[in-house]
Structure 1
Amino acid sequence: MKTVRPLGLYIHIPFCKAKCVYCDFYSLPHGEDRMDAYTDALCAHLTEAAPLAASHTVDTVYFGGGTPSYLGEKRLCKILKVIEKRYQVARDAEITLEANPDSAGDWKALRALRRCGFNRISLGMQSACDEELRTIGRVHTMEQVQQAVEAARKAKIQNLSLDLIYGLPHQTQERWMENLAAAVALNPEHLSCYGLKVEEGTPLFAMKDTAGLPGDEEQADMYLQTVEFLKQYGYEQYEISNFAKPGRESRHNL
């Protein structure tokens, strides 16, 4: 008798409105004219690769990017339907969509995604400070973060994660803790907190000596404060950068 093994799928959606100054992932800003062709090619590739996964049960699907939410709910649902048709997807599979707050404020669109099968949203909050967001090239505001969280809850999405970055240009420990407190106040089930990495070839790398970046010791202190602070609010650390309320750990991360 064959053993059915678990399988996690990562689906890369490379489109975004604008490239952040720290991003070294493959992404295509202003690539709207390629979205339909990319969606069709991705569906064809998923179909082609499906026989290789015949002995596996898909227990987690993660749509990352880029900005997957920027692709729109119709294209996203089309891709997910191909996965559900061609692969053995577990009934309780965790299906995550990364989203930027500016493209996740429509609760009806989020409801359509939930009905299609997406049951977890990871919002790229990054900071609660609009000035910090502008400095790193983010196109959303803190108000849009709040609106996106409200939209997700109205759409009955019950598993929400927020991404934050510490060690941003000119960021103090006090400011970072304010950002963290603002995120906790939104009551997500999960938080991912990443130390800023300056990658070669990015705009941030070119100006790293004048960007006012916190040093390694300062960033380490921010990390230690994060662990202690989130523990007080019931978020247990289960990975170096990931914190969750009991039972809300991301299966894809695990």
Structure 2
Amino acid sequence: MTKFSANLGFLWSDLTLPDAIHAAKAAGFDAVECHWPYDVPSGDVLSALQETGLEMLGLNTRRGKPDKGDNGLSALPDRIQEARAAIDEALAYAVAINAANIHVMAGSGAGQTAHDTFVANLRYATKLAQAHDITILIEPLNGYDAPGYFLRTTQQAKAIIQEVAVPNLKLMFDCYHVQLTEGDLTHRLHDLLPLIGHIQFASVPDRGAPDHGEVNYDYIFEAIAQAGFAGPLGAEYKPVGPTSGTLGWLQKRG
């Protein structure tokens, strides 16, 4: 049976992170993940995880200064020190709550210098994370939601993963982003499966619950299961109204 993770960056965002973890457990999710938990004491999050028995699959490095347009730091040649401080912070938090993955956000940029900077920062992140059995994830983002983002396609991500060439660097395959940028989800999932560390989903094009839109997620979920990916799939969608009113897709599968 397919397992699902609640992305608490979007789901139950009206609750504190510990309360959202409890809400995800009550709703029937198998795991949780988040975006930027750093304002919440790690001990509070760990307690909620232990009380519910849920695993925190992952978290993101800080974006930098979102009010100044930042959407990550690790591909920015003039901000390497900040990028590595964000990696250090994410690693410490992930260790404290036993999170399995860290998504290192690239930020905006293009060209060889941005590529080289991102690769160098990923080498830094993976070396530190390896000692804690943590996987570093990179995620291509679509140009509608993240204009100018450095990492845009799965083939670009594949080339970077192969260049860094360490076992704890993997692809975050977000079906929503990939469909908007590239399409052909089932073939891409199958071809990239050895490189995939986590899979996320949302409806296309509105990024809502996976029960409408142009992607048939019943088919996609079955294709993922048949391909042999056994990890929980991340529900990273934006609820319209209370999260509890958008979970018919999950209750149907239960």
TM-score by length of 2: 0.46
Q: From the two aligned structures, give the one with the greater strand fraction.
A: 1
TM-score by length of 1: 0.46
